[in-house]
A and B are shown apart, each in its own frame.
Chain A
Amino acid sequence: MEIAFWILSAITVIGAILAITMRNLVHCVLSLILFFLGIAGHYLLLRADFLFAVQVLIYIGAVAVLILFAIMLTRHVTGTEGPREVLGGKWWAGMGTAVIIAGLLWAIIGKDPLTSILPVGTASTSIAEIGRAFVADWLVPLEAMAVLLTAALIGAVVIALEEVIRKR
């Protein structure tokens, strides 16, 4: 448990850091995938099997691929940034804020006695339970989610297709 946690944490953190620091966009995405995998591993460690599958299926299978496609459609296929500046203007402000927030969060977490507790259960939730919850107690959020996803799908297509429609 402990070793797995530390290994996964290392993977996650390294993946995240690489994802936002590499020059090559595709490398960034690949690091992001590493990060997603690390998070998925954490879910497995936390006994959320279903979330593990969802994480892999959605983030690696869908989101990462989507990002790769977006990169393909918006740059030269090599994906390198070239000689241009990678960091945006006022990057120091962003980094400063991030550091401040990280420090504050750490301080708050360290202060809170609640956070030192250890796990209470061991068995993982059964999928049937989750499924039943979906169609019983959480039906309305589920439907709302369905509507949202449909709207997002249509919206994404419309936004991305805009040019084509105008040409016709």
Chain B
Amino acid sequence: MTVSLAHYLMLSAFLFAIGLCGALSRKNAIIVLMGIEIMFNAGILNFVAFWHYKYFASLTAQMFAIFAISIAAAESAIGLALVIAVYRHYQSIDVDEMRSLKG
């Protein structure tokens, strides 16, 4: 069985769900961020897979992937800085305990 686009898409969907699960159900803010990174990567994998299978001649997908990676890097830098700031404030990085914005 040759590997088709669907394989990659399913893999990517699966990874996305794993990342989502991690981001939604873990207590630790860092793991939540890691889950988000996994989701990002799953998305980027999708781009690259589509590029490889359908739009091989165009550079757009690769460009997009590169930009997405850069944005993800920036996002994680900010996110982790926030985690550190939150830790300084609450002495904890448990997302369940960060709720001073409660309504």
Contact = CB atoms under 8 A, between A and B. Distances in A.
Interface in A57-96: 58-59, 62-63, 66-67, 69-71, 73-75, 81, 84-95
A67 B5 contact: no
Contacts of A55: 69
A93 B24 contact: yes
Interface string A89-106: 111111101110110011
Interface residues of A, number: 88
Contacts, number: 244
Contact of A88 (B11, B26, B56, B70): B26
B20 A70 contact: no
Interface string A14-40: 001101110001001100100110010
Interface of B: 1-11, 13-28, 30-31, 33-35, 37-38, 41, 44-45, 48-49, 51-54, 56-57, 59, 62-63, 65-67, 69-78, 80-85, 87-88, 93-96
Interface of A: 1-2, 5, 9, 12-13, 16-17, 19-21, 25, 28-29, 32, 35-36, 39, 42-43, 46-48, 50-51, 54-55, 58-59, 62-63, 66-67, 69-71, 73-75, 81, 84-95, 97-99, 101-102, 105-106, 109-110, 114-121, 125, 129-130, 133-134, 138, 141, 145, 148-149, 152-153, 155-157, 159-160, 162-163
